[in-house]
Amino acid sequence: MSSSLSQSHTLVIVPTYNESESLPVLMGAVREQVPEVDLLVVDDASPDGTGDLAAGFARSDSAVHVLHRPGKEGIGRAYLAGFAWAVERGYRWIVEMDADGSHRAEDLGALLSRAQDSDAPDLVLGSRWIPGGAVQGWPRRRELLSRGGNLWVRGALGISVHDATGGFRVYRAEALEQLDLSAVQSQGYCFQVDMAWRIERAGGTVVEVPITFVERREGQSKMSRAIVAEALWRTTAWGARHRARQLAGLFRRRRDARTTG
């Protein structure tokens, strides 16, 4: 562990790529709602100067940090780099939060409160698709796509959560340390599914807290057909392997029962 142990228990990781318009708004909102947390901006060499902007905030606020990366490698790699940075510095809770305003700072307190409960869940998901959750500014088609995608994930993987694709979440640092994060290759929405499923398969506790998701206020959405396609084929492949292992285990147990019987 680094000798520069954080004085805060919580780090909010904000990956950025061309978020110069929305980042100041987000940082101001987080500072107002939960001033006790630290922030780490993970910037992938944004051409619009987001990294330089974040560095300016860091010079004036000791609770703001910046991790500059050489180029755009995707949100999954950005978060993995942020996780490693946070664990090295001794944070206990590690937050994923988008820079574009879709994750409301006023919901962050509820997620952190649940994460810090006495039962110490390993992962707290901000969920749009449980009672009390909502989305604002989405067309009906996109809502159906997200709901349908999450239903597919639940069926294919047997995962318990209702919003596995959501990216507003809080990890317990010890839970991340127990995972082999070097094996994570997924990106986009698929990365979020992958991480939640890894926590569950490791025996961790995953809980959901309702949030209101707001369509981004600045810039353009980074969702693309490639991201959706990756999520579909990866979850299908994972699900097929998962079900095959379940069936193989069932056959072994039946064979062993006949042998011993």
Task: Give me the residue spans of the domains in the chain.
Answer: 10-236
Average pLDDT for residues 133-140, to the nearest whole number?
95
Q: Is the pLDDT of residue 228 over 60?
A: no
d(C-alpha 107, C-alpha 112), whole Å: 9
* 56 class by beta-carbon count within 10 Å (0-12 exposed, 13-18 middle, 19+ buried): middle
> The whole model's pTM is what?
0.85
Question: Under 8 Å CB-to-CB from 76, ≥6 apart: which residues?
Answer: 184, 185, 186, 187, 188, 190, 191, 194
| Average per-residue pLDDT for the chain | 87
Residue 261: pLDDT band (50, 70, 90) is low
Least confident of 10-19, 193-202, 228-237: 228-237
Token code pair at residue 96: 């994923």
Q: What is the Cα–Cα distance from 168 to 213, expressed in whole angstroms?
A: 9
Residue 208 CA to residue 125 CA, distance in Å, equals 5
The alpha-carbon radius of gyration of the chain (Å, integer) is: 19
CA pair distance 222, 17, nearest whole angstrom: 10
Q: How far apart are CA 80 and CA 63, in angstroms?
A: 20
Split at pLDDT 50, 70, 90, the class of 4 is very low
Distance of CA 244 to the CA centre of its chain: 28
Distance from chain centroid for Cα 160: 16
Cβ atoms of residues 79 and 191 within 8 Å: yes
Q: How many residues does the chain have?
A: 261
> With 50 as the cut, is the pLDDT of residue 258 above it?
yes
DSSP 3-state assignment of 210?
strand
pLDDT in tens, 143-168: 998 998 899 889 888 899 999 999 99
Average pLDDT rounded to a whole number, residues 80-101? 97
Cα–Cα distances in angstroms (integers) from residue 45 to residues 102, 216, 217, in the given order: 22, 21, 22
**Percent of the chain scored above 90 by pLDDT?**
71
User: What pLDDT is attached to residue 3?
Assistant: 36
Q: What is the pLDDT of residue 5?
A: 45
Percent of residues, the chain, with pLDDT higher than 70:
80
Q: Listing from the earlier edge strand, what are the strands of the sheet with 169-172?
A: 64-68, 38-43, 10-16, 93-96, 169-172, 123-127, 206-210
- The CATH label, of 3.40.50.2300, 1.20.1300.10, 3.90.550.10, 3.40.47.10, for the domain at 10-236 is 3.90.550.10
